[in-house]
Amino acid sequence: MSSHDPALLRRLAGSLGTPFWLYDASVIRSRIAAIRTITSGEGVQARFAMKACPATKVLKEMAAAGIWIDAVSGNEALRALRAGHAGGQEPPVICYTSDVFRDNALQVVLENGLLPNIGSPGMIRELAAAGYRGKISLRVNPGFGHGHVNSCDTGGPSSKHGIWHEDLANANAAAGAVGMKVVMLHAHIGSGPQFDELLENLGRLVDEFSREAILLPHLEAVSLGGGIPHNYRDPHAVLPLEKLAELFARARRQLSEAAGRPLRLEIEPGRYYVAPACTLVTRVTDVKETRDNPKGKGATFAMVDAGFVDLVRPAMYGSWHGIEVVGRSPDELPEPIVVAGPLCESGDVFTRDDAELLQPRDLPRPVPGDLLTLRDAGAYGYAMSSNYNSVGRAPQVWLEPDGSLQLISRRETVEDVLKAETDEPLAV
């Protein structure tokens, strides 16, 4: 993704204030097209793990492209329905995946006929108690997986997700005993940093599911989850996606042969579709310094008006996002700069590593009033933003290739922050 026109960013900052989010429609469509290409083979279907970026505008792009949805809460499923994705199970355009039925999730699944993808055996009991006797999917923890940090592992003994692979037969028997049919097997092994590692683990997963498919007489589909990585340090890096297309074709043949009938093969990327498509734009309010003392080295801090209420990933697990000083030449002599936000929290720093240590960036020294951009923020950016410190969420802007702009969510006010508070008497 190329840098945005500095003049455009300054006009938006002048009109909307800062911080704000800027989505590039052409990048999202390019990523959708890439996924459609590698899933164009017979019997292969792509989903969007919408938790990465659930904006209605993005969901509508997915619907227009025939991309199905993986939702992980009742409200996510309702958002997908409102954006035009179909309910029901013929086909199961919206799959509900979770390890716990929370809030309205069970009701949404039942009322809209969604396919429930079960991550904990107890959910079968809950469905049965609610009168459900239909099709289900089982999410399996295959015993292996990867993430860019340990806290993001989605498979293996330390992962909370899914039913341990050695317990799959028991879960299938429990489902059959209450009149449910297991029609899909699912696993998500995470989006680790190495593409070759993804290919290797997907191959292992296909072998595992081939052995398990024999035990499931009603199986219709197998989902290999998401996991296509995005290179945050080199967003222009090109992945050999054709290798995935070849793997999917082989996998579907192998799984169908094991089951003795044609199966649908699914994948559900999230990050890959949207990560490079969004930039968080913030303004420098001050530049200040600390100095060396016995406790450690001093640092130069560029204070900005965006914080982890906007983009939490660096504070949560030391994620790396490219940072630019808008309109400044890359040929300027850089200095090590720590970029920090406004929140009353010491961890409100965008330039830190996964050990929670400061990791200054070499940047042209900014001055108050400069705009900074935090790049590749489309995945788990706005989606994970919050109202900590009673800060309103920043607005989201959509940019079309012809230069037209659309405000797709406004800046939240204190009324938005307070709207759920009540003085309502409660009788229990």
Count CB neighbours of 381 within 10 A.
Answer: 25
List 376's β-bridge partners, or say none: none
**Among candidates 145, 110, 150, 108, which has minimal Cα distance to 127?**
110
Q: Is 344 a catalytic residue?
A: yes
- H/E element, 364: strand 361-364
d(CA 357, CA 265): 42
With vertex at residue 398, the alpha carbon angle to CA 395 and CA 403, rounded to the nearest 5 degrees, is 130
C-beta separation of 411 from 394 below 8 A: yes
Sign of the dihedral through C-alpha 126, 127, 131, 133 = negative
d(CA 357, CA 287): 20
C-beta separation of 411 from 392 below 8 A: yes
Annotated catalytic residue within 53, 95, 152, 344:
344
d(CA 30, CA 369): 33
C-beta separation of 28 from 277 below 8 A: yes
Indicate the residue type of 355: A
**Among candidates 233, 249, 239, 237, which has minimal Cα distance to 269?**
239
- For 359, residues 6+ apart whose C-beta sits below 8 A from its C-beta are 318, 351, 352, 353
- The set of catalytic residues is 344
